[in-house]
């Protein structure tokens, strides 16, 4: 085999996709397997359990490396930071069985693995199943590939309700509970009965709650998919012809017949004839109906997906969506070909993303694991110390082992992982009350780190429903007088009127006109109505089911009875236009187009476009209006509309004019953006609208300050060559703006450099320019992104790409949009927020029921609070364990320890209740201009833990040593301190015990717990836990002051009251139970004094050092610490660069050295020029 196994041992699965994985081939070896089985038996199953937790160890020990072709076991590894391993067994499946069962459906792809497998006598293929998707081994390409045909199995998204016993076993085998089991066994061996029983009860309660929650989620998910698994559909097959069958029999390639009425789609299908209107709210979160058109008949041999490029979605009907209306064309019924079934569909993808969520916040959990390792090392030192102390004192070996193992259960808090998630759980509940729903709770902590937010414009920053402002018609190459809305007189009849009446994708659904808000406003201005019944009347005559618009009761007189919309080419984000073919009843067909004015003008005959088109367009877009271009064209009567391609229809047009719409800002937009700016969180606009409109809206919203300059970046491909050019132009402002009038007169080169040297400028660019810069000027992209504020005419894929580029600069990026065109960007961002009425959609991790960007600062506030809460809980849990650990080790010096009820009181009455209530503190209402630290292992946090550990150690050692120096102290007589008082009161002369209850107490002296050292150390350590909880409960600036968390404060007061009662009570029965002894009042007051000093010192250090931000910034400056963030480094590199940006200059790509890693630069941005870094 030589090099071959190593060469083909590794491959990538789903390369470039969200669920990308690495795959490694292994072959099971018999002797290794036998040794492992022996190991399982000898270790009583412990080795098997270890392999369950670490499947990669199982594979490495049981198997040997081999090529993927020879492998019978494969090891999968995720490509994210977590690098999670999973083990899969390779199975062989007979293809012949599938071929025989589906003789009517031959494999049509000549080079498909199955058509080649048919030539083989064995007809066997190797397959693995990963996250519900089947992959087969292709012997020709030597790789595993997704199953696309024949072997796809039944068309069901099968999510069975997981049996309770399976959930129970999975939960019980969690390392946390296994550690608890080990601890409980140890405690039983040491006679800590009550404590062990209490922990068993709490663990069982925790397990049952977790199982109940998982079971509920399983049932909810099962019900979500169940409805789509059994739908009756009509299909057309080769031999049987038309037949009705259940949807789970569907396979890719089946021809679906879509009938009238509402239908749930049970698969992904591509429309091949007719037209559909679909409700895609399950996918996008938008309940606006979407029009789907059939796949155009192309002459080229390109695959349909490549041919349609970004617009492929307008032909595809997605599984889980609802068809609400169908329209047949002249080819008869509405037909669609099944593309994907089961888990390969859009809905299957959604369900798989819920079943297999992507883990987030790797750094936090990595740091928690490192800290846990430190505590284990700490415990190992304690174990060595314990063994030495007990062995030297001649203790039995079994007792020494038990005491040593007990140190691990004390030093390592098993609840540490759970403590990190408590803040997230409470935050999720708070967000739900505020109408913000979260399907990915791991991302909540991410929200606390956001420092850049991208916003869509229309419907996000501005009102969704636009108001018509005016219509600027064009005739014979000239613009006419503007027609304002609302006007006393209606629009005059003509081509422009017809364009407004028919150029839309509106439908009548449930008695209401439904569709895009822009289309609705435009159509309502005509006072015409959509005749919903017309299609049904004509259907019997064999004509197509077309939409007819007719004059309404309030419409101006029109010379026609109505207009029939024969065909639609729906709006495309990539093409930035839509068009229809319409025909007056009794007239000739015409094409009408509306879209981005620049795009529409380019498709028109030059002689029909007014010469002042650009200046007029600039006039209105600069005022923030949304401008739509209109055009038309007469079509030949002989050619049927279905035979025309989009390119034929949308060419040689006649320009009709501009429709001007008012794009008002939402009420919350400006204050929210000001709040983000004050918190030094960058705001970026990413829109599909015109660049001038976007810049104006950005200025109105406060994204661009009035005194800041806007620089337009234009990139173009050089005609006839492979190179490209890029130009920087300062955007001229209107002369009416006073702050520019002074600069316009003295625009000398040094003056420009001076004005721009301070960084008071913003880049604006179009999607076309962005793409060219990304392709030809890669080295300039980081510089442009550092100050890029407006990105206009961006396609959905460009929005996703932009978010990813920001992330490469180490920004934590949030994206807020409407969920439709922004789906990709919402998924890619660290925190995607969809403004939608849906409770949750596949579009984004967060969904806000309120259609306002006010949810963005709310989410950031709550994210910061959750992050700080996680850190507080982490610090508290670590300190609580260390305090208890130090106390026990001190007592071990005298072969003593804490008693059963003492442990029980500290763990349950103190720590558990604090752990539950500490997270109740709400988020601080004001966003401060810096973020909380993102790492657990950061200097302030580590210093805080180390210093508080030293304070606790000092106090406990001081108490331990000083109590032994007291005149009343006796190592053998635990009643010597209170003897004189008791003698006077009880006339007892016993030196070893007292009558009555004291006799019972005396019996307990043999257990080794009751001593002056035990009482002193236990009381000091218990109240120290309360001190630590109070000191670590951070309030401002990320959470509200601690006194607002009434429950937590009441708990602390109650616990302190109980502790002080135990300190001063001197009740024989109580002291006997708690293994405490009586001490003089003066010593008790001394202990209170020690605790008061510890509280004062701890609180002072936490406030004056740990939480002193200016001090840490000074230290960073002194030691010349530079941020590791890429965007910060770029800012530092180019701070002295006076040649940036090169105004009024043009660069060519072939004359620029394109080095991505070389001279990458940036420039300081005034909106995010903070000295903060994660400490």
Question: Known catalytic residues?
Answer: 456
Both tokens of 644, joined, read 């025309």
CA–CA gap between residue 617 and residue 627 (Å, rounded): 8
CA–CA gap between residue 541 and residue 669 (Å, rounded): 54
Both tokens of 998, joined, read 């004291």
Burial of 421 (0-12, 13-18, 19+ CB in 10 A): middle
Pair type for strands 143-146 and 241-246 = unpaired
CB count in 10 Å sphere of residue 737: 10
Q: Is 960 helix (H, G, I), strand (E, B) or coil?
A: helix
CA–CA gap between residue 697 and residue 704 (Å, rounded): 9
CA–CA gap between residue 304 and residue 698 (Å, rounded): 39
Cα 888–chain centre separation: 43
HEC per residue, 745-806: HCCCHHHHHHHHHCCCEEEEEEHHHHHHHHHHCHHHHHHHHHHEEEEECCCHHHHHHHHHHH
CA–CA gap between residue 60 and residue 683 (Å, rounded): 49
| Cβ neighbours for 1046, distance < 8 A, ≥ 6 positions apart | none
Pair type for strands 788-792 and 682-686 = parallel
Contact, 1057 vs 933, CB < 8 A? no
Contact, 357 vs 302, CB < 8 A? no
Nearest Cα neighbor of 576 from 539, 621, 627 is 627
Both tokens of 290, joined, read 């979407």
- Angle at Cα 936 formed by Cα 934 and Cα 940, nearest 5°? 90
Both tokens of 477, joined, read 């190459």
CA–CA gap between residue 421 and residue 364 (Å, rounded): 11
CA–CA gap between residue 1175 and residue 1165 (Å, rounded): 21
Q: Is 714 helix (H, G, I), strand (E, B) or coil?
A: strand
CA–CA gap between residue 953 and residue 1094 (Å, rounded): 11
The strand pairing partners of 1054, in sequence order, are none
The strand pairing partners of 632, in sequence order, are 592, 654
| Cβ neighbours for 46, distance < 8 A, ≥ 6 positions apart | none
Contact, 915 vs 419, CB < 8 A? yes
CA–CA gap between residue 882 and residue 888 (Å, rounded): 10
CA–CA gap between residue 312 and residue 270 (Å, rounded): 9
CB count in 10 Å sphere of residue 48: 15
Distances (CA, A) of 1100 to 237, 315, 914, 1086, 1104: 80, 66, 22, 21, 6
Pair type for strands 21-28 and 73-78 = antiparallel
CA–CA gap between residue 262 and residue 271 (Å, rounded): 16
Distances (CA, A) of 984 to 477, 968, 980, 1071, 1076: 118, 16, 6, 21, 22
- For residues 498, 499, 503 and 508, what is the CA-based torsion angle, rounded to 10 degrees? -40
């Amino acid at each position: 085999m030589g090099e071959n196994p190593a060469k083909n041992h590794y491959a990538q699965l789903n390369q470039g996709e969200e669920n990308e994985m690495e795959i490694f081939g292994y072959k099971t070896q018999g002797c290794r397997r036998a040794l492992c089985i022996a190991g399982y038996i000898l270790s009583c199953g412990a080795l098997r359990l270890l392999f369950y937790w670490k499947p990669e160890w199982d594979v490495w020990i049981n198997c040997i490396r081999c090529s993927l072709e020879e492998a019978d076991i494969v090891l999968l590894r995720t490509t994210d930071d977590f690098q999670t391993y999973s083990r899969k067994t390779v199975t062989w499946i007979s293809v012949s069985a599938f071929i025989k069962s589906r003789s009517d459906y031959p494999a049509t792809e000549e080079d498909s693995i199955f058509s080649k497998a048919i030539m083989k006598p064995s007809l066997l293929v190797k397959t693995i199943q990963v996250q519900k998707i089947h992959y087969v081994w292709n012997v020709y390409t030597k790789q595993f590939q997704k199953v696309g045909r024949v072997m796809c199995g039944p068309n069901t998204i099968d999510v069975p309700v997981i049996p309770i016993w399976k959930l129970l076993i999975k939960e019980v085998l969690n390392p946390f509970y296994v550690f608890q089991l080990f601890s409980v066994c140890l405690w039983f061996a040491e006679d800590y009965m009550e404590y062990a029983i209490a922990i068993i009860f709490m663990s069982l309660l925790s397990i049952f709650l977790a199982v109940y929650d998982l079971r509920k989620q399983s049932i909810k998910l099962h019900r979500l998919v169940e409805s789509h698994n059994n739908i009756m559909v009509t299909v057309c097959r080769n031999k049987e012809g038309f037949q009705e069958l259940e949807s789970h029999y569907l396979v890719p390639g089946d021809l679906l017949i879509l009938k009238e009425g509402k239908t749930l789609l049970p698969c992904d299908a591509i429309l091949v004839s007719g037209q559909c209107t679909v409700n895609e709210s399950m996918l996008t979160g938008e309940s606006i109906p979407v029009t789907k058109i059939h796949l155009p008949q192309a002459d080229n041999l390109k695959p349909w997906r490549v041919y349609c490029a970004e617009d492929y979605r307008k032909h595809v009907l997605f599984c889980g969506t609802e068809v609400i209306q169908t329209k047949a064309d002249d080819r008869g019924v509405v037909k669609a070909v099944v593309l994907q079934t089961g888990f390969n569909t859009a809905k299957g993808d959604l369900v798989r993303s819920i079943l297999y969520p992507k883990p987030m916040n790797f750094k936090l959990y990595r740091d928690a694991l490192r800290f846990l390792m430190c505590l284990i090392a700490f415990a190992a030192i304690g174990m060595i110390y314990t063994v030495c102390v007990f062995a030297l004192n001649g203790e039995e070996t079994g007792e020494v082992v038990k005491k040593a193992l007990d140190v691990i259960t004390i030093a390592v808090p098993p609840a540490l992982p759970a403590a990190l998630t408590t803040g997230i759980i409470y935050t999720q509940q708070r967000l739900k009350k505020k109408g913000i729903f979260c399907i990915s709770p791991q991302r909540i902590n991410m929200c606390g780190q956001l420092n850049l937010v991208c916003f869509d414009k229309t419907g996000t920053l501005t009102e969704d429903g636009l108001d018509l402002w005016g219509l600027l018609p064009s005739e014979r190459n000239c613009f006419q007088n503007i027609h304002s809305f609302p006007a006393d007189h209606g629009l005059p009849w003509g081509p422009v009127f017809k364009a407004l009446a028919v150029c839309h994708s509106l439908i009548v659904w449930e008695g209401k006109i439904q569709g895009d808000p822009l289309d609705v406003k435009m159509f309502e201005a005509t006072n015409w109505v959509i005749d919903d019944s017309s299609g049904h009347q004509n259907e019997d005559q064999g004509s197509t089911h077309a939409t007819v618009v007719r004059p309404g009761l309030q419409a101006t007189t029109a010379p026609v009875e109505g207009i029939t919309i024969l065909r639609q080419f729906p709006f495309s984000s990539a093409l930035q236009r839509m068009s229809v073919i319409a025909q007056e009843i009794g007239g000739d067909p015409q094409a009408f187009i509306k879209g981005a004015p620049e795009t529409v003008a380019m498709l028109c005959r030059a002689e029909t476009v007014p010469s002042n088109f650009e200046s007029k367009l600039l006039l209105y877009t600069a005022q923030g209006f949304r401008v739509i271009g209109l055009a038309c064209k007469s079509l030949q009567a002989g050619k049927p509309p279905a035979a025309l391609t989009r390119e034929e229809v949308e060419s040689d047009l006649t320009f009709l004019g501009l429709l001007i719409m008012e794009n008002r800002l939402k009420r919350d937009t400006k204050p929210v953006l000001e709040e983000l700016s004050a918190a030094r969180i960058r705001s970026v606009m990413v829109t599909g609208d015109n660049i001038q409109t976007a810049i104006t809206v950005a200025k109105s919203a406060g994204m661009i300050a009035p005194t800041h300059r806007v620089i337009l970046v234009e990139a173009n491909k050089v005609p006839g060559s492979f190179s490209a050019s890029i130009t920087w132009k300062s955007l001229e402002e209107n002369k009416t703006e006073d702050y520019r009038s002074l600069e316009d007169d003295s625009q000398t080169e040094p003056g420009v450099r001076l004005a721009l040297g301070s960084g008071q400028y913003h880049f604006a660019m179009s999607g076309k320019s962005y793409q060219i810069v990304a392709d030809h000027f890669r080295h300039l992209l980081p510089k442009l992104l550092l100050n890029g504020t407006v990105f206009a005419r961006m396609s959905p894929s460009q929005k996703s790409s932009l978010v990813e580029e920001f992330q490469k600069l180490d920004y934590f990026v949030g994206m807020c949009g409407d969920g439709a065109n922004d789906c990709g960007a919402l998924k890619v961002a660290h925190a995607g927020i969809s403004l939608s009425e849906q409770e949750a959609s596949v579009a984004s991790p967060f969904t806000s029921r309120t259609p306002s960007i006010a949810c963005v600062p709310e989410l950031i506030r709550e994210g910061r609070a959750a992050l700080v809460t996680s850190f507080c809980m982490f610090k508290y849990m670590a300190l609580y364990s260390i305090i208890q650990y130090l106390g026990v080790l001190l007592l071990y010096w005298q072969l003593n320890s804490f008693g059963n009820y003492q442990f029980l009181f500290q763990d349950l009455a103190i720590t558990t209740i604090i752990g539950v209530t500490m997270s109740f503190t709400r988020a601080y209402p004001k966003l401060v201009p810096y973020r909380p630290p993102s790492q657990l292992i950061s200097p302030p946090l580590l210093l805080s833990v180390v210093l508080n550990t030293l304070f606790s150690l000092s106090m406990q050692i001081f108490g331990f040593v000083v109590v032994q120096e007291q005149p009343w102290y006796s190592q053998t007589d635990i009643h010597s301190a209170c003897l004189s008082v008791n003698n006077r009161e009880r006339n007892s002369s016993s030196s070893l015990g007292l009558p009555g209850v004291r006799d019972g107490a005396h019996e307990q002296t043999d257990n080794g717990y009751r001593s002056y050292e035990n009482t002193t150390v236990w009381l000091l350590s218990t109240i120290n836990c309360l001190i630590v909880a109070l000191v670590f409960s951070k309030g401002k600036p990320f959470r509200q002051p601690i006194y607002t968390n009434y429950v937590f404060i009441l708990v602390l007061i109650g616990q302190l009251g109980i502790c002080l009662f135990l300190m001063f009570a001197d009740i024989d029965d109580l002291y006997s139970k708690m293994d405490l002894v009586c001490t003089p009042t003066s010593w008790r007051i001394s202990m209170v004094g020690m605790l008061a000093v510890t509280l004062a010192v701890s609180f002072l250090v936490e406030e004056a050092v740990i939480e002193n931000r200016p001090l840490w910034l000074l230290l960073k400056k002194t030691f010349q610490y530079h941020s590791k963030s890429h965007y910060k480094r770029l800012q530092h590199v180019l701070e002295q660069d006076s040649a940036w940006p090169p105004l009024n200059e043009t660069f060519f790509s072939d004359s620029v050295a394109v080095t991505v890693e070389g001279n990458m630069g940036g420039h300081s941005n005034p909106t995010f020029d903070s000295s903060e870094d994660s400490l």
